[in-house]
Structure 1
Amino acid sequence: MKHINILMVDDHPIIIEGYQNVLMATKEDDQTLLIDTANNCDTAVIMLNRASKEKPYDVCFFDISLPASEDGKYTSGEDLALLAKKILPNSKIVILTMFNESFRIHNIIKEIDPDGFLIKSDLTSMELADAFQQILKSPPYYSSTVNNYVKKTFTSEIYVDDINRKILHLLSQGIKTKSLSEYIPLSTSALEKRKKQLKLLFSINDGKDETLLQEARDKGYL
């Protein structure tokens, strides 16, 4: 009997329930699935840390949009995936998200290189079941939207790294640019430069932080 330890993180309990039901109904006869669930970054971090000391997860499913941790250190499923890669190096990382813009997909592949990458609008229960078995045996598994983007050559290196995501998050919390260096170990001029690059990246013509944050929200970074 193969025991497979799984963590599922999504802020909608009904979605987690759906995933669980599909995997339980379609698992192979020799598989026993042990599924932990979390609805926010704080709970997920506790579970990941505990798993790293006790019983590591074989597969971790992360939704991208999640309530940030209390300390602001983890703001999304991307942050959790990076933590999992660090402390659970043998775990398979699966990203599930509604976001389907090409540079968002590119970013996740470049930064996380997940074992599974599924766009929720692509998913049927059959595809989730197939994806799960393939990720266990021979990853990666990308759903159709992701595959189509991967096949196209990415002409521009659009990349919003960890620090830039933190800048966006802090600005959205009302933190002023001059105070960002209290939260991020960079000089104010380095942070200003990054903010300028973000405005270029998101084609912000009026130079306003509000417009930048609105675009970042629309593109799924906040």
Structure 2
Amino acid sequence: MQQIQILMVDDHPIILEGYQNVLMATKKPEQLLIIETANNCDEAITLMKRASRDRPYDLCFFDISLPPSSDGKVTSGEDLAILSRELLPQAKVIILTMFNESFRIHNILKEINPDGFLIKSDLTSSELAEAFQHILIDPPYYSSTVSNYLKKTVSSDIYLDDINRKILHLLSQGIKTRSLKEYIDLSMSAIEKRKKQLKLLFGVSDGKDETLLEEARDKGFL
């Protein structure tokens, strides 16, 4: 019998129940799944610390949007995933999230490099079951939105650093140029310079922010 220890973290109990039901219904006959769940960062931290001393988890599923820990140090599933890499280095990390903007996908891939990355709007029961079995044997597994993002950005010859990605993301959220310095630790002239570079990179000839955002979307950066 293959015993598989699993931690699932989501602040919606009904979603956790759904995930558990899918995995239990589709597991292989020789697999014994031991699933523990947490609804917030504090519960997850307690379970991970206990598992690191006792029987480590084989897989950890993290939702991104979670109530923060009571000390305020862990504020999301991203923070939990990074902590799990320290406490449970052998555990496979799976991110499940509603966030599907390229900026968020890029950051999660860069900061966490998860073994599984599933956008909830892509997910069906059969895909969750397939992802689970795939990640056990041959990670990583990415759902279609993540795969499409990677295909577009890999095939693009445009390289953007994190600050330029953030500028694009903020502009796409409707933040005006004059307000960008509230979110980015740069002078106004440095931000303007970067915007000019971005327009050159994306071949924007009319100088408009709207055209820049259209081009960035088209190439998978938004």
Normalised to the residue count of structure 1, the TM-score between the two structures is: 0.74
Cα offsets for 1:110-140 (capped at 9, x unmatched): 0000000000000000000000000000000
Contact 2:103 2:169 in 1 (8 A): no
1:1-222 maps to which residues of 2 (within 5 A)?
Answer: 1-153=1-153, 155=158, 156-158=160-162, 202-203=170-171, 204-205=175-176, 206-207=178-179
Instruction: Find the counterpart in structure 2 of residue 171 from structure 1.
Output: none
- 5+ residue gaps, structure 2, are 184-222
Taking the aligned partners of 1:120 and 1:58, their CA distance within structure 2 comes to 22
Q: Percent identity?
A: 65
1:4-39 residue CA offsets vs partner (Å, 9 max, x unmatched): 000000000000000000000000010000000000
In 2: Cα distance, 1:198 partner to 1:116 partner: 24
Higher CA-based Rg: 2
Q: How many residues align?
A: 175
Q: Deviations over 1:159-195 (max 9, x none)?
A: 69xxxxxxxxxxxxxxxxxxxxxxxxxxxxxxxxxxx
Return the alpha-carbon distance in structure 2 between the equivalents of residues 199 and 143 of structure 1. 26
Unaligned residue ranges in structure 1 (runs of 5+):
161-196, 213-222
CA 1:159–1:12: 2 relative to 1, 3 Å: farther
RMSD across aligned C-alpha pairs, in angstroms?
Answer: 2.1
CA distance in 2, matches of 1:31, 1:40: 28
Matched position secondary structure for 2:153: coil
TM-score by length of structure 2 reads: 0.74
Q: 1:159 to 1:26 in 2, by over 3 A?
A: farther
